[in-house]
Amino acid sequence: MNAFVIEAEKLHDNIKQIIAKAASRKIYAVIKGDGYGFGLCTYAKILVTCGINALAVTEPYEVAALREAGIDCEILMIRATAIPGEIEELLRHNAILTVGSNEDAVTINGIAGRLGTKAKVHIKIDTGMGRYGYLLNDIEKIGAVYDYMDNIEPLGIYTHLNAAFGSKKKTLAQIESFKALVAELKRRGYEAGCVHFANSSAFYRFSDMDFLDAVRIGSAFTGRIPYPCKTGLNRIGYLESEICEIRWLEKGATVGYGGAYRAKSPKKIAIIPLGYSHGFGVEKIRDTYRFRDGVRYVLQDIKRTLSGEKVYVTVNGKRARVLGHIGMLHTVVDITDLTCKVGDNVQFKVNPLYVNANVVRKYI
Ligand SMILES: *Cc1c(COP(=O)(O)O)cnc(C)c1O
């Protein structure tokens, strides 16, 4: 059966390493996108059991599912929303909301009042991400949340870095402007509460920086952070399937759509019932926003073409080359030089984020 396999011991080790590195700071374990592909509730339970006591998600239904699964720790909603139905659901499930504008604040304040509760929120500052948040010169508007919204209790303030994996200069400028805004709020007598800005890349890249009160860590738990550096973390998760057919190809026979692979000599092949619909060979589209992104992609493609880069899977612990294009539900590999039989295990390297939610998550 196809499964996405997660090595629990390695995960425990990553969690332990991250908790130690955060020292006494609070950690928000970000588990958006079905827990980065690790399965929302199972993954959340492991995090909590290993000592994490605050989670962060982007969807109200995630909060509902976590509460239903019996997880009663702090949950921060890191997406702002002015949609009344979403706000009500979040308040009912005792989530901490994000306020990124006075429109958000007024709506949340009204609904909390109607429900007879006080909404706990973190204030979001936009330092370049351009999605949610007050701008750096919105200090008067932010003050209004503290001054006039009786049903809102601000417990923290944060920003999201847009290039912690890339431009150091841009990132440091964002951090500085965010810190300056928080200092000004404090100078005006407002209680900033829990102040945070670091994602995984910032956390590992600027290790000697003062991360203030909390860090928001997502990808690092899976052992794959966007900023290229040695973290000492375990890379976790792979897709697993089994050989369903074995056969021989004659010289000149083709494999897959378009007949892209043609056998130059007789080949023994294995068919595996797993393809891109499960998440193998799937990549995010390369959105070419700037001219230089386009140039970089072209250079990457030329390099890849010239080096004849091939795709491999692991059959019984041995490398086997993928032949032809990966199919929606099938992959064909060359096993001419391998010893294997129908039912044998095959492992695929994948980005967990792209593993289809229908694929069973198997913790080992
Ligand atoms: C996804 C996300 C994070 C975590 O980012 P990683 O790089 O995966 O650690 C932190 N904060 C916000 C607001 C996010 O959306």
pLDDT of 285 strictly over 80 = no
Strand-pair partners of 28: 216
C-alpha closest to that of 14 among 232, 338, 227, 316: 232
162 and 21 in a common domain:
yes
The shares of helix, strand and coil residues in the chain, as percent rounded to the nearest 5, are 35, 25, 40
Pocket of ligand 1, candidates 216, 217, 233: which has the most ligand atoms within 8 Å of its Cβ, to mutate? Answer: 216
176 and 113 in a common domain:
yes
Q: Span 346-360, mean pLDDT?
A: 95
216 and 346 in a common domain:
no
Burial bucket for residue 274 (CB in 10 Å: 0-12, 13-18, 19+): buried
- Phi/psi region, residue 259 (left: phi>0; alpha: psi -120 to 50; beta: rest), is left
Pocket of ligand 1, candidates 28, 132, 160: which has the most ligand atoms within 8 Å of its Cβ, to mutate? Answer: 160
Residue at 228 is within a domain: no
Q: pTM of the entire structure? A: 0.94
The amino acid sitting at 156 is G
Please state the domain count of the chain. Answer: 2
Residue at 233 is within a domain: no
Give residue 130 CA to ligand 1 midpoint distance, Å: 15
Give residue 219 CA to ligand 1 midpoint distance, Å: 8
251 and 296 in a common domain:
yes
Residue nearest to atom 12 of ligand 1 (CA): 160
Structural domain boundaries enclosing 122 = 8-222
Residue 58 DSSP class: S
CATH classification of the domain holding 105: 3.20.20.10
* CA-78 nearest atom, ligand 1: 13
pLDDT per residue over 145-164, tens digit each?
Answer: 999 999 999 999 999 999 99
pLDDT per residue over 79-131, tens digit each?
Answer: 999 999 999 999 999 999 999 999 999 999 999 999 999 999 999 999 999 99
Per DSSP, the residues of 154-204 read: EEEEEE--S-TTS-HHHHHHHHHHHHHHHHHHHHTT----EEEEE-HHHHH
The amino acid sitting at 179 is K
Q: Work out the number of other CB atoms within 10 angstroms of the CB of residue 253.
A: 14
Give residue 30 CA to ligand 1 midpoint distance, Å: 6
pLDDT of 307 strictly over 90 = no
Give residue 199 CA to ligand 1 midpoint distance, Å: 5
249 and 351 in a common domain:
yes
Residue nearest to atom 15 of ligand 1 (CA): 78
In the chain, what percentage of residues exceed pLDDT 90? 91
Per DSSP, the residues of 67-117 read: HHTT--SEEEE-S----HHHHHHHHHTTPBEEE-SHHHHHHHHHHHHHHT-
Burial bucket for residue 309 (CB in 10 Å: 0-12, 13-18, 19+): exposed
262 and 203 in a common domain:
no
Q: Span 47-54, mean pLDDT?
A: 98
Q: How far is Cα 91 from Cα 69, in angstroms, rounded to an integer?
A: 17
Residue nearest to atom 6 of ligand 1 (CA): 218
Q: Hey, what's the torsion of the CAs at 363, 312, 336, 344, to 10 degrees?
A: 10
Contact between 327 and 294 under an 8 Å Cβ cutoff? The reply is no
Residue at 332 is within a domain: yes
197 and 51 in a common domain:
yes
Pocket lining for ligand 1, CB < 6 angstroms: 30, 32, 78, 160, 199-201, 216-220, 226
160 and 22 in a common domain:
yes
